[in-house]
Structure 1
Amino acid sequence: MKDPAAPDASEGHGGEHGPRLSPVDPVEPGGPVQEPPPVRRRSWALDTTPLRNRAFRRVFGGVAVTMLGQQMTLVAVPYQVYELTGSSLMVGLTSVVALVPLVVFGLLGGAIADAMDRRRLMIITSVGAAVTSALLAVQALLPGDGHISVLWLLAAAVSAFAAVNQPARSAVIPAIVGPDDVAAANALSMTVRSAGVIVGPLLAGLLIGLGDLSILYTVDAIGFVLAVLLLRGLPSLPPAGVSGPLRLGAAVRGVGEGFSFLRTQPVLLMTFVVDVIAMLFAWPQAVFPELSQTTYAGNANSLGWLFAGVSIGSLLMGLTSGWVSRVDRQGAVVLAAIAVWGVAIIGFGLSSALWLSVLCLAVAGAGDMVSAVLRSSMLQTAAPDEMRGRMQGVFIVVVAGGPRLGDLRAGVLASSVGVSAAMWSGGIVIVVAMAVVAVAVPSFWLFRASQADELAEAARRRMAD
């Protein structure tokens, strides 16, 4: 999970928007040096402006050290389930096992992130994730290549810790870098994640070939330990208006308050709806083990390439994402990007060649990268600080829960009508659905990034009333 890199020497005061960390360094005795903001180059290259900020470098570094192990684990768990059961349906059910704690703790974690120091919350959950990954390594060494019940229990624990950690780390981004750099910061983080999702599955495929899953889980545990060390260098990051100790009852009530708030914000609500549609009808991961042992059995590392395919496209898009951080018509571009995802999944479903399947997955990943960066930015800038944790909690539930429901759908359909039909039918649904959303919810289609501050301020006034 993300974990920061040397805090800025001064925190400053963000008023009702929460603490602001000065991106300028060094800090002189008289206060932070006010230097003119860096001039952005209007190019396609990845915008690295947020890396001038010490605290964000820690956040960014934390993503880098955990991504490899996390992605190796995401390959190892479904592979181990398929080895134990020989069923794609059981692979899909494993995703549902992880979905329940993700929903419960994602929503609760978002409320907790709005009620306590977010730095402390990130440290606690990262320690828990490190312990859980170590236990996964131990179970992989048990006689009989592990046990499905133990594997499911630990997979649920992984989801629970991630669900509490991620809302907090996403909610701190605007406070660390400021609203103008939120999209660029998201693009940087998602690009390094995409690199990990490419290298991780490919390396996992090679290590699985050696027959030792415990190594994959051990790398994950080490990554979280490093993340904790990075997080310790951040300053305190309480949400706006929070100064006392956490009251669990208030956090639980905060979940309901978050949903009440969301019902009054159709633009924010639709950022979740469109992603649920995309993931539910076209997430392909559950069929990868079956394809690797049937259609693409002739390729020794077809499993690794399939798992890496989406992130190959995400990485390439991330490296050329300078234009994404400058998009103003964010709602319209999100709908177009998800439609691209749907078209690419149609191609994946119809393909019978590994190289073409990976290419289609890469195109899908490029569309998903654009959608994810812009949807994250819309949530982080158009919601007031005191609601950001809860909005990110819902975001995590949708982003991580959607693929798990998609896994179940793909597993069920692949077992009944075949892998190809399961995929191309879902892609068609997505393309049609995005056209319907554009017509039915014009406020989302017309949303502009330049309106985000006004939307957040209006929401804040409505909450005060």
Structure 2
Amino acid sequence: MAEPAAGYARVFAIPEFRAVFAAHALSLLGVMVSEIALSVLVYDLTGSPLMSALTFALGLMPYVVGGTLLSGIADRFPARRVLVVCDLVCAACVAPMVVPGAHIAVLLALRCAVALVSPVFQGTRMAGLTDILGDGELFVLGRSLLRIVSQSALLAGFGLGGLLLTVVSPRHALLITVATFLASATLLRLGTRHRPARTGRPGALVGDSLRGARQVLADRRVRVLLLLFWVPPMFAVVPEALAAPYADGLGAGSVGLGLLMCGLPVGTIASELYAGSRLRPAVRERIALPLVCLTLLPYLGYALRPGLAVSLLLLVLSGAGSAYTLGLDQWFVRAVPGELRGRAMTLLTAGLMTLQGVGMALAGVAAEFAGVTATCAGAGVLGTVCCVGLAVAARRTEGRAEGTES
């Protein structure tokens, strides 16, 4: 008899997960507030739109460095200690930004430091979820809930941040970020229990991190799954990266721009909630690869130069395809050895954020030559071809992975 869907309620019934969930929501709130406050502060200090935009870019660029050179931390030390220390380091980096007169170079350097720590924190938390929830159905639902919170933050976070800045100055808003990081650290310290590190401490950290990355990438099955996590979002962000000029071309104004920015998150949240609460684990795994192949197809509709309503529908449909990640989560945990799990999760996070940044940059370059609508449609074509190829590769490695487990 097929296993029934566990449902999100079973995940929330675990006290440790509730602490992790609350800490995630708090730290995410702090990050959203800091990003908008810091960008406004930098613009106030420099008067340069480029420098203001650079503060957002610096939130993505160091991910590849931290995720590659520091990933060994996730397995070499107890997870709770790593998470608490990362939160404290982030609070310590944001606190000096509040000081009046802090130089612009100092602000940007501290922003880089926070971004350097982020992949280690996120990778350690993902691996730690397998300790709290196991490596089966509950882990998949727990990961889904954290993603839903992140997508929800995209819908509400920047709006709330902008509203906050009408009441307090950017520097005072950054105090809220410090407080949220400290609260997150407290929740994780008191709400989760100590567990030993997954591995010993063999040699230097950087060498161990690079060695772990090579071990993770040496397995073809794991490589394909990583690419399935990374490649679709790299193409999916193209319409978001070009939302401002696209809305301007439609004459939709700031309201239209806001709606376009909401399209993907709305589709993602709705599909993950449905797949997590209504579909059985076996069904989620069965539909994962077909969804990967379909998720970018709606972007082909941009070739018809649609209006605002149809464009919004295309984005929602594409976001709905992201429910494939629930199936991928289970495959990935199954494919990665337990002693490499922290490094693998950190590498996954770093690659995901880095390639989304690359996708945004390439979208801007392509739009300069081909135009906005052609670039969005082209992302749909090229992205779908890549996804189909990866789906075929994943299917070919599937039997070998299962045979190894038995």
Alignment TM-score, normalising by the size of structure 2: 0.83
Tell me whether 1:191 sits opposite 2:145 in the alignment.
no
Residue number in structure 2 paired with 1:49: 10
Find the aligned partners of 1:302 and 1:151 in 2 and give their Cα distance. Answer: 32
Find the aligned partners of 1:265 and 1:318 in 2 and give their Cα distance. Answer: 28
Letter in 2 for 1:229: T
Residue number in structure 2 paired with 1:101: 62
Q: 1:153 aligns with which of 94, 97, 109?
A: 109
CA contact (8 A) 2:40 2:52 kept: no
Find the aligned partners of 2:93 and 2:308 in 1 and give their Cα distance. Answer: 34
Residue number in structure 2 paired with 1:283: 237
Find the aligned partners of 1:332 and 1:275 in 2 and give their Cα distance. Answer: 17
Deviation at 1:61, TM superposition (A): 1.5
**Root-mean-square deviation (CA), in Å?**
3.6
Letter in 2 for 1:190: R
Deviation at 1:412, TM superposition (A): 1.7
Change (3 A) 1:191 1:439: closer
Q: What is the correspondence of 1:435-450 to structure 2 with a 5 Å cutoff? A: 435-444=388-397
CA contact (8 A) 2:256 2:308 kept: yes
CA-to-partner distance for each residue in 1:71-109, whole Å, 9 max, x for gaps? 45556667888995456x994x66664444211211233
Change (3 A) 1:339 1:349: farther
Tell me whether 1:202 sits opposite 2:135 in the alignment.
no
Residue number in structure 1 paired with 2:207: 253
Deviation at 1:237, TM superposition (A): 2.4
Residue number in structure 2 paired with 1:240: 198
Change (3 A) 1:346 1:388: same
Change (3 A) 1:225 1:204: same
Deviation at 1:327, TM superposition (A): 3.4
Change (3 A) 1:287 1:447: farther
Residue number in structure 1 paired with 2:79: 118
CA-to-partner distance for each residue in 1:193-233, whole Å, 9 max, x for gaps? 22222221333455578896556644433322221110111
Q: What secondary structure, in the 3-state scheme, does the structure 1 residue paired with 2:363 have? A: helix
CA contact (8 A) 2:232 2:387 kept: no
Q: 2:182 aligns with which of 216, 220, 225?
A: 225
Q: 1:418 aligns with which of 352, 371, 375?
A: 371
The number of residues matched between the two structures is 400
**Alignment gaps of 5+ in structure 1:** 1-38, 459-465
CA-to-partner distance for each residue in 1:340-363, whole Å, 9 max, x for gaps? 331233446765544443333332
Deviation at 1:378, TM superposition (A): 2.5
Tell me whether 1:274 sits opposite 2:228 in the alignment.
yes
Q: What is the correspondence of 1:47-446 to structure 2 with a 5 Å cutoff? A: 47-73=8-34, 84-86=47-49, 91=53, 97-135=58-96, 138=98, 147=104, 149=105, 152-180=108-136, 181-204=138-161, 206=163, 213-214=170-171, 217-233=174-190, 234-242=192-200, 249-284=203-238, 285-291=240-246, 294-295=248-249, 298-322=252-276, 326-328=280-282, 333-347=287-301, 353-368=307-322, 370-444=323-397
Letter in 2 for 1:153: A
Find the aligned partners of 1:95 and 1:201 in 2 and give their Cα distance. Answer: 12
Deviation at 1:445, TM superposition (A): 6.1
Find the aligned partners of 1:388 and 1:154 in 2 and give their Cα distance. Answer: 29
Q: Percent identity?
A: 23
Change (3 A) 1:398 1:78: farther
Q: What secondary structure, in the 3-state scheme, does the structure 2 residue paired with 1:238 have? A: coil
Find the aligned partners of 1:306 and 1:82 in 2 and give their Cα distance. Answer: 25
Decide which moves more: 101-110 or 114-123: 101-110
Change (3 A) 1:350 1:75: farther
Find the aligned partners of 1:197 and 1:394 in 2 and give their Cα distance. Answer: 23
CA contact (8 A) 2:3 2:280 kept: no
Letter in 2 for 1:107: T
CA-to-partner distance for each residue in 1:440-459, whole Å, 9 max, x for gaps? 453346689xx4xx75x68x
Deviation at 1:236, TM superposition (A): 1.4
Deviation at 1:124, TM superposition (A): 1.0
Alignment TM-score, normalising by the size of structure 1: 0.73
CA contact (8 A) 2:4 2:280 kept: no
Q: What secondary structure, in the 3-state scheme, does the structure 1 residue paired with 2:77 have? A: coil
